[in-house]
Amino acid sequence: MAAIFRTLTAGYVGPRTASTVSLVRDGDTVVVVDPGMVADRSLILDPLAAEGVAPDRVTDVVFSHHHPDHTLNAALFPAARFHDHWAVYQDDLWTDRPADGFRLSPSIRLAATPGHTPEDISTLVDTAEGLVVFTHLWWDAAGPVEDPYATDPAALHASRARILALSPALIVPGHGSPFAPDAGTPA
């Protein structure tokens, strides 16, 4: 059985900033990716409830990186394990592990994708429609071609090339709606 996903809220960048927050389910594994800044917490909690998921039933939360616009609402999920680039955290337990290749479930794995920050990771999900990648390598479908906040632009472009080489069916960017990559997708 392949995993399923839903965008809980599509993010944006401008005079105001919001993270794209997503839900992924694979059997008993229930993951929220990047529960960051949104105009109102109901933009996370209401679509989650519409999917029949209570916040305390979320098993895992993944942070693409540690900027507040991607982490601010993590406390909404009290029973979750939290994943970043180098560890898993739950309650008072900190378990070191590299993210690259770490599996949360049979259909959900993490990948190190530095560039925006040295610690960026992406969540790779095998779905019936193909591979879906949740990442901050792109803010939205247009890129931007050059991330003005990238700590390492060369690493960002190498990470984009690595993800595009996997032929994802969809990319869920850090601040926009999911898009199908094509020849015009910034690499």
pLDDT grade for 130, boundaries at 50, 70 and 90:
very high
Residues 6+ apart with CB under 8 A from 186: 138, 142, 143, 144, 145, 160
Does residue 19 belong to any structural domain of this protein? yes
Percent of the chain residues past pLDDT 70, beyond the cut: 100
Does residue 35 belong to any structural domain of this protein? yes
Quick one: average pLDDT of 46-51? 98
In Å, the largest CA–CA distance within the chain is: 45
pLDDT at residue 150 tops 90 = yes
Q: What tokens does 35 get? A: 């529960």
pLDDT at 1: 72
Number of domains in the chain: 1
Give the range of the structural domain holding residue 165, as residue numbers without chain letter: 4-172
SS3 162: helix
Quick one: average pLDDT of 38-48? 98
pLDDT at 182: 96
Angle among Cα 37, 43, 45 to the nearest 5 degrees reads 105
Does residue 187 belong to any structural domain of this protein? no
Does residue 23 belong to any structural domain of this protein? yes
pTM for this prediction: 0.97
Does residue 91 belong to any structural domain of this protein? yes
57-104: pLDDT as tens digits: 999 999 999 999 999 999 999 999 999 999 999 999 999 999 999 999
Percent of the chain residues past pLDDT 90, beyond the cut: 99
CATH number reported for the structural domain that contains residue 84 in this entry = 3.60.15.10
* Closest to 155 (Cα-Cα) out of 120, 104, 107, 108: 120
Does residue 184 belong to any structural domain of this protein? no
